[in-house]
Amino acid sequence: MSASLIIRRCASLSEARICVGLLKARGILAEIDNAAHAELDWGSVPALGGVAIRVPRSQFESAKREIIDTIDHADEALMSEYGADHDDRVDMGRRRWRAWTMLLIYSGIFNLIFGYILAQILRRLPHDWFPAPPEATQYYGIPIETHLTPPTLAWDGIIFMLLIALFLVWEIGSVTRSRATEDA
């Protein structure tokens, strides 16, 4: 598009696609400026200033008015679509499950459970199924240990687990505060 202007910079490609869809539904020619870059290297989108949406210079004012009108009337549109009794608490429950799942994954409880199950399965299999490992050769005089040792609880591991626990408490607290403000 020649002679175009950036009307909006979005935080994500999904937001930009929604905005472009809104403008195209209203008959305004709109394009995402750096969509391919945002798809391939989404981590650098904030450094680029977001995902830019371009419109022709002649349609800039009408596109700006459409975006503002849509934002201003978003509550009425949601009420007409979903009704006044629509409850957003389902989303809050998902946030709580996300926090608990994060704690289980990062704390290694899943690894512990599945490792125990795998060890029990391997213990019950005949030893003939697994060939003996070849003798390890040492190169350059570097000693190679032939057994694994379990991880120890060092200070960095304790700090990491403390940070995970604090984030979990913060996440659950934010869900509880959100529910309290909605109920009020």
Instruction: Pick the last residue of a domain from 82, 101, 117.
Output: 82
Q: What does the pLDDT read at residue 1?
A: 45
Q: What does the pLDDT average to over 111-124?
A: 86
Give the model confidence (pLDDT) of 10-41 as tens digits: 988 999 999 999 999 999 999 998 888 888 88
Judgement on whether residues 166 and 99 belong to the same structural domain of the protein? yes
Q: What is the CATH number of the domain that holds 38?
A: 3.30.70
Which residues span the domain enclosing 76?
Answer: 4-82
Look up residue 146 and give its DSSP letter: S
The tally of domains found in the chain comes to: 2
Judgement on whether residues 48 and 116 belong to the same structural domain of the protein? no
Judgement on whether residues 11 and 75 belong to the same structural domain of the protein? yes
Look up residue 46 and give its DSSP letter: T
Judgement on whether residues 39 and 74 belong to the same structural domain of the protein? yes
Q: Which residues of 75-88 are buried (b: 16+ CB within 10 A; e: fewer)?
A: eeeeeeeeeeeeee
Alpha carbon distance 100, 175 (integer Å): 12
Alpha carbon distance 31, 39 (integer Å): 15
Question: Of 47-61, 83-97, 106-120, which one has max mean pLDDT?
Answer: 47-61
Q: What does the pLDDT average to over 116-138?
A: 81
Report yes or no on 43 lying in a domain. Answer: yes
